[in-house]
Chain A
Amino acid sequence: EAGVTQSPTHLIKTRGQQATLRCSPISGHTSVYWYQQALGLGLQFLLWYDEGEERNRGNFPPRFSGRQFPNYSSELNVNALELEDSALYLCASSLVLPAANEQFFGPGTRLTVL
């Protein structure tokens, strides 16, 4: 069974640009989560999507947004990139309740903002 996949592996942008990151969940999983892992820091929760709807959001500015498609894949968009947005962005997926707490992660997209 294929795991969570993310693309691209690496992304280099300049300040002020927009970045789009993509995620495909494990087959059968309907929930997708996005986390930011900055260098030297733990994982910080960004967004949770389920059945195409945003269900919860972490303490990040509105320029971090996303969506979930009918096939449950998801996109994370970061507008007006800032240097401190450089980080590993991890996508995770899960089944619905009661196993929703077990989130399975993809390999991540390394975003570098110059």
Chain B
Amino acid sequence: GQQLNQSPQSMFIQEGEDVSMNCTSSSIFNTWLWYKQDPGEGPVLLIALYKAGELTSNGRLTAQFGITRKDSFLNISASIPSDVGIYFCAGFAGGTSYGKLTFGQGTILTVHP
């Protein structure tokens, strides 16, 4: 079945540093989404990408939909303590998987002040 490989699994950075994480898949996805989950809460949608090659920003966050449609990355610039949390990529393949988002395993981000 479809799987998303998300890396790195965890990151420990200093406040002010930039962060980069990515997701890869062996199959094609039509949509890539990036979510952030804080402890005890549900994931919050950060960015949605719909076209191969698309580059989208949301404040300090920038995400790209890979040209091959099999990968995506998320960058966070000038990290701040409230960026702490778990970041998930999610892909939508369509077809018989309609309605189903496939999630990566998550990247745990820790920001030291």
Chains A and B bind each other: yes
**Residue in B45, B88, B90, B105 whose CB lies within 8 Å of A104:** B45
We find that the number of chain B residues with CB closer than 8 angstroms to chain A is 27
Question: For B33, what are the chain A residues with a Cβ–Cβ distance below 8 Å?
Answer: 101-103
Which residues 48-71 in B have Cβ within 8 Å of A in the complex? 48, 50
The answer to whether A4 and B100 touch across the interface, beta carbons within 8 angstroms, is: no
The answer to whether B41 and A43 touch across the interface, beta carbons within 8 angstroms, is: no
**Residue in B1, B31, B43, B99 whose CB lies within 8 Å of A43:** B43
The answer to whether A105 and B44 touch across the interface, beta carbons within 8 angstroms, is: yes
A55 interface residue (CB < 8 Å to B): yes
- Distance of A107 from chain B, by nearest CB (Å): 5
Once the chains are docked, how many angstroms separate the CA of A105 from the CA of B41? 9
Please give the residue numbers on chain A whose beta carbons come within 8 Å of chain B beta carbons, in ascending order: 4, 31, 33, 35, 41-45, 48, 50, 55-56, 58-59, 90, 92, 100-108
